[in-house]
Amino acid sequence: QVQLVESGGGLVQAGDSLRLSCAASIRTFSWYTLAWFRQAPGNEREVVAGIKWSGSSTNYADSVKGRFTISRDNAKNTVHLQMNSLKPEDTAVYYCAVSRGVGLATTPGEFDYWGQGTQVTVSS
C-alpha cells in the first residue's frame, strides 16, 4: 500500500528553485522523523534533510545547508523540501521517508516507510 507520495520534481537550470512535497497517509506521531533522501545513479542513498513531527529538531547534509529547507504541515500530514540555488550535483531521485523511532533518524536503515521517489534534474 502506498503511504508516502512525493511530488514537485522536474528539470531545471542551475540556480533555479524547486519545492518538493510528500503526502503521508499514515498517522504520524510527535516523535517520528520525516526526511528527504536522494540517490544518484551509482551512488549510495544519502540523507538530505530531516525533521521531527513535533518540535524544532532538524538535520541537513553539509552539501545543502543554506540552500535547502525542510518544513512540515502537521494538519495536512505533509513534509516539504524547498530547494534553492540548485546545482547540477543535486541531480538525483529524491525520496521521502518516515522513521518511527524516538530519536532524530538520519540513516536509511532507521526508516520504516518510503515513497517511490521523484526525479530532480539540474542542468548546467
pLDDT tens digits for range 4-23: 999 999 999 999 999 999 99
The pLDDT of 38-57, averaged and rounded, is 94
CA–CA separation, 21 and 6 (whole Å): 6
| Rounded mean pLDDT, 82-106 | 95
pLDDT of residue 56: 84
In this prediction, residue 37 has a pLDDT band, given cuts at 50, 70 and 90, of very high
Residue 55 reports pLDDT greater than 90: no
| Number of CB atoms found within 10 A of residue 64's CB | 22
Q: Residues 36-43: what's their mean pLDDT?
A: 97
Distances 90 to 99, 118, 120 between C-alpha atoms, Å: 24, 13, 8
Per-residue confidence (pLDDT) for residue 25, from 0 to 100 = 92
Q: Are 96 and 114 in contact (CB under 8 A)?
A: yes
